[in-house]
Amino acid sequence: MNKKIAIIGAGGHGKVIGEIALLNKYKAIDFFDDNIIGLDSKFPFPILGNCKVLVNNLKNYDDYFVAIGDNKIRYEKMNWLLKLKVSFVNLIHPRSTVSQYSTLSTGICIMANAAVNPGASIGEGAIINTSASIDHDCLIEDYAKISPGCSLSGKVKVGKLTTIGTGSSVHPGIVIGSNVKIGVGSSIFKNITDNTVFKK
């Protein structure tokens, strides 16, 4: 591949995304971040400046991605870029399993050892993190985050901007609303309404 990608977000999540881009054979992987001060000096990819610098260099890149773990900030940055009419991609780790019978929107990351099974639908800007399992016919709406080691049984719905905490399990057919935060290691047996903080 002879393409160049610009990625917003040079934090810990960005490191993982950068490596997935590397495994997807991008020729150049450049990062931009508005919080330049305090960034890891050993960040493994070039950090070329803030988002204003990116705007002045849009023509230099083929593809774009937002690598920010916070759902609302990821939403804001991605929508800002969408207004600039850039080309978003999905970054999918080669050691993940994504069914050809699933449906993916754009700006999605799917990390190592994650599984997305037939009939599942993954919304815009969603994160399917390391070793997460999305079973058949699940619906993960826009800008939701499924944290490492989560297990979603069949026909689960996860609303927009919702975070499922690390190692959580969700039983079949459960509906989780929008802007919900679910604590680490939770087991979800019942539906959860919008704007809820759920702790096991």
| Catalytic site positions | 136
Which is nearest to 67 in space by CA: 119, 120, 121, 29? 29
Q: 197, 178 in Cβ contact below 8 A?
A: no
Q: 114, 128 in Cβ contact below 8 A?
A: yes
Could you write out the DSSP letters of every residue in 70-96? SHHHHHHHHHHHHHTT--B--EE-TTS
Both tokens of residue 171?
């039983």
Q: What are the E-state strand segments in 105-192?
A: 109-110, 115-116, 121-122, 127-128, 133-134, 139-140, 145-146, 151-152, 157-158, 163-164, 169-170, 175-176, 181-182, 187-188
> Exposed e or buried b for every residue in 120-143, given b needs 16+ CB within 10 A?
bbbbbbbbbbbbbbbbbbbbbbbb
Residue-level length of the chain: 200
